Structure 1
Amino acid sequence: MYEDFAFIYDDLMADVDYEKWYFYILEMLNRFNREPKCVLEMACGTGNLSYYFAKDRFDLTCFDLSTDMLSVAYNKLSKFKNVTLLNQNMVDFRINKKFDLILAICDSINYILDESQLLETFRNVKKHLDKGGIFIFDINSYYKLKEIIGNNTFIEDTDDIFYIWQNYFDDEDNICQFYLTFFIKREKGNYRRFDEEHLEKAYKEEEICELLKNAGFSQVEAYHSFTFNKPSGESERIHFVCLP
């Protein structure tokens, strides 16, 4: 997963405003009276959000499971002396350090398909949080994965990339399967094809809150996408702020 995808990821995500995401996180921190210095970003991907934390001189550690995504991130972040990049897994990462702020953005949490592993992830996050730390993450909502993405097909055609995104939602285990076929334009008008399969688990807000509580977090707040309003039944992205 992500081997070829990593090198076109930024083109496909061009409509995502990571700077807006960064300022939204800063608003959250201000709302909870937190001024972190030491930040951990889980599943950092190609480093799009990481860039803004690095530029603002946070002591930043980032990790991702995909070495290809990390190689793209390295090209963006290598000029910063305050960044460490690691190849680790969200579920069982081990870093000999504690952090003021831990982040997981862009629905990376949905890629953890088993509730017991998600609980382990949350416990591990809490273990790596310093006293007074804060954990911020988001998910694709159950509604979005089941009703918006699930069992639908999307087609995108740009100057250099054509792809077909077919989806199937399994009601038994609440897992949304993404099947993507890409055609990437090469020199002389030829195209190279590759295929990707991704799986995301659809979690309900109350399930996430219960797991966080079981992991030992004392306060959990949930918000509708990029606001400080409570999520609705049709919220497509839900942001969580968690205090140990």
Structure 2
Amino acid sequence: MMPSRYLWMTSYASLALLYDDLMSEVDHTAWGNYIDGLIRHFGAPGRSLLDVGCGTGTITIKLQQLGYDVLGIDMSSEMLAIAANKGLQVGLGIDSWLAMDMRALQLPQASFAIAVCACDGVNYLGSNDELDGVFAGLRQALCPGGLLLFDVHTLHKMQHIFPSGPFVQESAAGYCIWSSQYDASAGNATHDLTLFIHEEGELWRRFEETHNQHYFAPDVIQRFLISNGFELLSCQPWGQETGVIAPGTERLQYVARRQ
């Protein structure tokens, strides 16, 4: 189990220091290739790509290396600082990153052919109203025919996988211990994280954070996509272009087109 890339937090400073180490077991190259494959399969009207909730920029950089003209946005200045530093190492300019909350997008109208929100960033929206608002903002940012790609946790994962912890992750820079609870009446998963970051010698610093995710049912997602001028092209188990959504599926991948 891995903490997600886009986190609604008061402070990102502590997690940003550990994030890439904690996510090292995730194959971001395969994730970027998967997104690229979906874009090629469904077709997009250009190569300009908005990565919403880009975090430390690993997937953004992969997509840039695959030939996309990328802009990564995130509400965390700490995450973006790491992303910008990583980008400079591969020739991606500082203007490829922008501090922005996806709930309050301020981007030129019809300026992107593709918008991506990977690693269950959508689940960090707290309500149907926020989901509706984000889809409306993304429609404004996408040109006609543009693609929107995002993934979300399933109810199975929220109800059964998250509460099966606690989970412990270890990296060279520190440790993360996290446990989760799911409130079925509210549709919310609460993740309590305890981070131990190594500073020097025998000195370790402890941080505690709580993060919340919301479950969005497929019919809710489809309804708000349609009401905001999107055509739902695909909803399938993550990692596949097609496929039956089995009871144990943990993540769904959506692809929609801006009409």
Of the three residues 240, 246, 252, the one matched with 1:227 is 240
How far does the alpha carbon of each residue in 1:209-234 deviate from its partner, in whole angstroms, 9 at most, with x for none? Answer: 12212222123310102012132222
TM-aligned CA deviation for residue 181 of structure 1 = 0.6
What is the RMSD of the two structures over their aligned residues, measured on CA atoms?
A: 1.7
Alignment of 1:1-244 (within 5 A): 1=9, 2-34=12-44, 36-78=46-88, 79-81=91-93, 84-97=96-109, 98-150=111-163, 152-228=165-241, 229-244=243-258
Higher normalized contact order (CA 8 Å, seq sep 6+, divided by chain length)? 2
Q: Which deviates the most, 62-71 or 231-240?
A: 231-240
TM-aligned CA deviation for residue 241 of structure 1 = 0.2
Q: Which deviates the most, 200-209 or 82-91?
A: 82-91
Q: Give the number of aligned pairs.
A: 244
- Preserved contact between residue 117 and residue 151 of structure 2 (Cα < 8 Å): yes
- Whole-Å Cα distance in 1 between the matches of residues 252 and 197 of structure 2? 32
- Preserved contact between residue 121 and residue 152 of structure 2 (Cα < 8 Å): yes
How far does the alpha carbon of each residue in 1:166-205 deviate from its partner, in whole angstroms, 9 at most, with x for none? Answer: 2111122110000011112232122111111110001222
1:150 alignment partner, SS class: helix
Give TM-score, length-normalised by structure 2: 0.88
Write the letter of the residue equivalent to 2:51: E
TM-aligned CA deviation for residue 156 of structure 1 = 3.0
Q: Return 5+ residue gaps in structure 1 as ranges.
A: none
How far does the alpha carbon of each residue in 1:1-52 deviate from its partner, in whole angstroms, 9 at most, with x for none? Answer: 2221011100000011111011111211121133631111100000000111
Matched residues, percent identical? 26
1:49 alignment partner, SS class: helix
Give TM-score, length-normalised by structure 1: 0.94
